[in-house]
Amino acid sequence: MLVDVKEIQKVSNMFMNAIHEDEIELLNKLYDALKEGDRERADSLMDEFLQDVEEHFSTEEALMREAEFFAYPMHKQEHDMMRKEVARIHERWKESKDPQEVIKFLEEVFVPWLKLHVATMDSVTAIHIGD
C-alpha cells in the first residue's frame, strides 16, 4: 500500500473528503500494479490517474469559484504545478513503461505533495466553502 486514507487530513467539506478518499484508493491500486510489474493493468490505471487528478482539481476549482474564495488563484496555481508533473510522469510512462520511475514519483513527489496540499490549501478552502 502506498498511502493509508488516515494519513490524509480530513477537511470540513465531505464532498472534498470523498474525492480524496477515491483518489487514494486509485493510487493504491496503481501502486500495487506497478509493484507487481503488471504493466497492462498499470497502463490503464495510469490513464485513470491522469483523469482522476484533473477531475479532483477542476471540481475544487469550480467549488471555489462558486464560493468566490479569495485564495482561488493561489490554490489553482498549486494544482496547475501538479497537473504539469502528473502529465509529465504519464508521458514518461507511455514512453518507457518503467514501473520504478512511477513508483518513485508517487512515493517522493505526489503523496508528500498531496498530504501537504490537503492539510493547507484544501483545508482552508473547505472552511470557507463549508459543507
Q: Which residue ranges make up the site for Fe ion (CB under 5 A)?
A: 60, 122
* Least distance (Å) between residue 47 CB and Fe ion: 20
* Smaller CB separation from Fe ion, 17 or 33: 17
* Least distance (Å) between residue 53 CB and Fe ion: 10
Quickly list H helices, 12-130: 14-35, 39-66, 72-96, 99-105, 111-117, 123-129
* Smaller CB separation from Fe ion, 33 or 114: 114
* Least distance (Å) between residue 57 CB and Fe ion: 6
Task: Give backbone dihedrals phi and psi of 9, rounded to 5 degrees, phi first.
Answer: -60, 140
Q: Where are the beta strands (DSSP E) in 53-129?
A: none
Q: Cell numbers of 55, please?
A: 477531475
> Which residue is at the shortest CB distance from Fe ion?
122
Distance of CA 61 to the CA centre of its chain: 14
* Smaller CB separation from Fe ion, 5 or 43: 5
